[in-house]
Amino acid sequence: MSSKGILIKNLKKRYGSGDTAVDALKKVNMRIAPGEVVGLIGPSGSGKSTLLKCLGAVIEPTAGQMMLGNEIIYDNGWKVKDLRALRRDHIGFIFQAPYLIPFLDVTDNVALLPMLAGKPNSQARKHALDLLTALDVAHRAKAMPSQLSGGEQQRVAIARALVNRPPVVLADEPTAPLDSKRALAVIRILNNMAKKFETAIIVVTHDEKIIPTFKRIYHIRDGVTYEEKGAGIEP
Amino acid sequence: MISLAGRDILHSWGKFVFTGIGLGLLIGVTLSMAGIYRGMVDDAKVLLDNSGADLWVVQKDTLGPYAESSSIYDDVWRRIQSMPGVEKAVNVTYLTTQVHHGRHDVRAMVSGIAPGGPGTPGWPPYLIAGRHITRSHYEAVADIASKFKLGERIRIRRNYYTIVGLTRRMVSSSGDPMIFIPLKDAQETQFLKDNDAIWEQRRRTAANPNFNKPNSPGLLNAIIASQTTNPYVNAVLVRIKPGYNPEKIAQEIQRWKRFTVYTRAQMKEILVGKLIATSARQIAMFLIILSIVSSAIVAFIIYTLTLGKIREIAVLKLIGAKNSTIIGLIVQQSIALGVIGFVVGKVSATLIMAPIFPKYVLLEPLDSVMGFITILIICTLSSIIAIRAALKVDPAEAIGG
C-alpha cells in the first residue's frame, strides 16, 4: 500500500436486524489526502465512534467501500485477510486518554509497534527515538508513563501512532484532557507530522478550541457525513 | 520482541513478590507434607536397616513385632541358631512407652537387646557419643532425638537407667526415638506387674486348692516362681550367612519351627504398606487439597491481574498485537508467580519448616523436581480463565463511545 490518503464511499453500518436494527452509519463519504488533517465533528450518538471503529478495521461495515492508498480494503466485505496486521502496519490510533502501556518506558511504548511487526529491538528503538526527538520528548525517553505530564503523554501517544509511518491516523478526541495551549500544541504537532510523513489524519473532536484550525471538517449527523470548509487558522 | 510479562513484573515487582511469598508459604507446606511422608517411609526403612536382621521370626499368624504384638519364648533363638545358613539369631523386645526424665517424659520405643556387642542384630550400628552397653542391667543407649545426654538417669517403668551412649537416626516407624536397654531388663519392663498385682496373684494361687495341696508342699512355690518369671520376647532377629537364600530359610523356619517369618522385603511391606498406610492416605489427601487451593489462588491472582490490564490488552489488540502475545503475557506472569512461589516454598520448607517440625521431614530432590513441574503445570492451567477473559476483550474498547 502506498501512502496516498484514505477514500470512503457510501459506507454503511447496521447494528442488529429486523425490527431492532439500527443504522449507525447511513451514508459516509470522505476523502482525506496524504498530509491532510481533517476534523470529524458530530453530536453524541451521531455515529462518530462507529465510523472510527469501521475505519480502524475493528468492526465490519455493512456496505460501502474503503480505500487505503490505492488499495481497496473494504468493498462490501473485507478485502484484507489479516485485519490485525492492517491495523498494526497501516493505521495509527490516538485515543482520548493516552493509554500508554504503564509497565513500558517511553521508548518501548513507541517501539512496541515495530517490534510487534517483527523489527529488531534496536532498530525499533532507533525509530522510536527519532520520532520522540521530532516530538520534543526525547529527554523523557527512559521515563515511565506515570512520570510524564498529560501533554508529554499525549505526544508519546502521537509518536506511537506514527512510528510505523501509517498512511492514516485516527485520533479520537486527542485534546479532550488538555488545556487550550496544550490542545493547540497537539494539533500543531499533528499538522507537522501529517506533512512530514504524508499521513492522512482524522481528528474526532468536540473541542471548540481546535475546530477553527482545520481546513476541512466533516460533520456527521444521524450517520450521514457532510463536508464543510474550515477556517484553517494556524494553531 | 521485548518480554511484556517481564516488564510488567519488574514494574510492579512488589505485588508479584508479596503474592509469590504468600503462594510460596503454601507451596512450602505442600513440600513439607511430601517430606513428612518421605520421612515416615525413611523411618520405617531405618528401623529395618539398623536392626541388622535378614529375617524376623515372630509369633505364628501375627504381623509382629512392629505392626502387631508378638510373643515367643526366649529360648526359641537356640533352635533357629542351629539351622543351616543362620549366622546369628538373637532375641529382641520392643515396647513403646513414656520414658521419664526428671519432671518430663519422652515417648520412645524401648528395645531390649541380647548380650553381644556392636554388630549383633538389634544393636545400634554406630554411636555418636559414649559407649555401647557393657553391663547386664540398668544401662541405656538413646537416640539423640530423645534429647537425653550422656550420664543422665532416666526412668522406664520402675527402674532407673544411665545413658552410656548416644546414637542417631534410630527411630520407630512412627518417628519415636529408640532407647536400647539390656534384654533382661526389657523383659522385666515389658511384662512387669505392680506389687499389688503380684501380691494378689500369689494370694489367689495360694487360695486355689489345686495348687496348694498338703501332700505336695513344693508345688505352690514352683507355680508362684513360674508366674513371676518372664520367658518371653517379641521376636528373634536372624542374620543369614552370605550365599544363603533368606526366603528359603524363612520357609524352613516356618515349616519346622512353626512360627511366622518375614523377610526384609515383607517387613518393609508391613511397615510401609500397612503401618503408615493411613497416614500416607491422609497426607495424600492434604497434598491434593493443597494443590487445589494453590491452583485456585494462582487462578484468582492471575485473573485479577489480567482484569486490571483490560484497557492495556484492548490497546495492544487494537494496535495489532497477536493473541499469542497476549497469551504469552498472561502465561509467563503465571509461571513467574509459580517460580517465585516455588523458590520461597523450597527455601521455607528446607530452612524453616523441616528443622522445626517435630517429625523427620525428608525433602527428596526428585520430589522438588516433581513439585516444580506440577507447579508449572498448575500455573499454566490456572491462567486459562484469565486467558479466556483477555481473548474476549474487544479491541474496540480502546476507542471511546
pLDDT tens-digit profile of A25-63?
999 999 999 999 999 999 888 889 899 999 999 999 999
Judge whether residue A201 has pLDDT over 90: yes
Three-class SS state of A205: coil
The count of domains in chain A is 1
Q: Which is more confident, B226 or B267? A: B267
Identify the CA nearest to B245 among candidates B63, B83, B34.
Answer: B83
The set of cell numbers assigned to B332 is 509467563
Tracing cell 494539533 back to the chain, one arrives at: A187
Distance separating alpha carbons of residues B308 and A46, to the nearest angstrom = 31
Instruction: Give domain status of residue A14, yes or no.
Output: yes
Distance separating alpha carbons of residues A136 and A81, to the nearest angstrom = 37
Chain B partners within 8 Å of A50 (Cβ): 401
Residue A1's pLDDT is 47
Residue B169 CB-density burial (10 A; 0-12 exposed, 13-18 middle, 19+ buried): buried
Domain that holds residue A183: 6-97+164-229
Judge whether residue A3 has pLDDT over 70: no
Half-sphere exposure of B192 (CA within 13 A, CB side): 14
The set of cell numbers assigned to A145 is 508513563
Out of B316, B317, B400, name the one closest to residue A172 (CB). Answer: B400
The answer to whether A116 contacts B320, with C-beta atoms less than 8 Å apart, is: yes
Mutate to test the interface with A, among B310, B311, B317, B319 (most CBs of A within 10 A): B319
Nearest CA in chain B to A104: B7
Note whether B310 contacts A: Cβ–Cβ < 8 A.
Answer: no
Instruction: Give domain status of residue A119, yes or no.
Output: no
Confidence of residue B173 (pLDDT cuts 50, 70, 90): confident
Instruction: Give domain status of residue A104, yes or no.
Output: no
The answer to whether B398 contacts A95, with C-beta atoms less than 8 Å apart, is: yes
Instruction: Give domain status of residue A19, yes or no.
Output: yes
Distance separating alpha carbons of residues B238 and B263, to the nearest angstrom = 10
Instruction: Give domain status of residue A154, yes or no.
Output: no
Distance separating alpha carbons of residues A215 and A225, to the nearest angstrom = 16
The answer to whether A112 contacts B319, with C-beta atoms less than 8 Å apart, is: yes
Mutate to test the interface with B, among A93, A105, A125, A168 (most CBs of B within 10 A): A93
Tracing cell 526415638 back to the chain, one arrives at: B177
Instruction: Give domain status of residue A214, yes or no.
Output: yes
Nearest CA in chain B to A110: B319
- Please report, for the domain that includes residue A61, its CATH number: 3.40.50.300
Cα dihedral angle (A68, A72, A73, A74), rounded to 10 degrees? 120
Each residue's pLDDT tens digit, B26-47: 999 999 999 998 998 888 888 8
Cα dihedral angle (B176, B178, B183, B184), rounded to 10 degrees? -70
The answer to whether A116 contacts B399, with C-beta atoms less than 8 Å apart, is: no
Nearest CA-CA distance, residue B317 and chain A, Å: 8
Neighbouring CB atoms inside 10 A of A83's CB total 17
The answer to whether B398 contacts A88, with C-beta atoms less than 8 Å apart, is: no
Chain B partners within 8 Å of A87 (Cβ): 318-320, 395
Nearest CA in chain A to B315: A99
Mutate to test the interface with B, among A52, A99, A170 (most CBs of B within 10 A): A99
Q: ipTM, 2 decimals?
A: 0.85
Question: What value does the mean pLDDT of chain B take?
Answer: 90
Residue A2's pLDDT is 47
The answer to whether B320 contacts A87, with C-beta atoms less than 8 Å apart, is: yes
Q: How, if at all, do strands A6-15 and A63-68 pair? A: antiparallel
Distance separating alpha carbons of residues B315 and B309, to the nearest angstrom = 10
Question: Which residues are registered as beta bridge partners of A218?
Answer: A40, A227
Note whether B397 contacts A: Cβ–Cβ < 8 A.
Answer: no
Note whether B14 contacts A: Cβ–Cβ < 8 A.
Answer: no
Q: Which is more confident, A2 or B258? A: B258
* C-alpha separations of B306 from A9, A185, B301, B311, B331 in Å: 40, 35, 9, 10, 11
Instruction: Give domain status of residue A216, yes or no.
Output: yes
Residue B252's pLDDT is 92
Out of B8, B322, B398, name the one closest to residue A103 (CB). Answer: B8
Chain B partners within 8 Å of A53 (Cβ): 396, 399
Note whether B373 contacts A: Cβ–Cβ < 8 A.
Answer: no
Three-class SS state of B120: coil
> To the nearest whole percent, how much of chain A has pLDDT over 70?
98
The answer to whether B400 contacts A95, with C-beta atoms less than 8 Å apart, is: yes
The answer to whether A172 contacts B322, with C-beta atoms less than 8 Å apart, is: no
CB B294 within 8 A of CB B27: yes
Tell me phi and psi for residue B142, to 5 degrees: -120, 150
Instruction: Give domain status of residue A21, yes or no.
Output: yes
Nearest CA in chain A to B308: A102
Residue A41's pLDDT is 94
Judge whether residue B13 has pLDDT over 80: yes
The answer to whether A103 contacts B12, with C-beta atoms less than 8 Å apart, is: yes
Domain ranges of chain B: 4-44+277-398, 60-192+230-258
Each residue's pLDDT tens digit, B109-157: 999 999 988 889 999 999 999 999 999 999 999 999 999 999 999 999 8
Helices B4-11 and B13-51: angle between axes, nearest 10 degrees: 100
Nearest CA in chain B to A113: B319
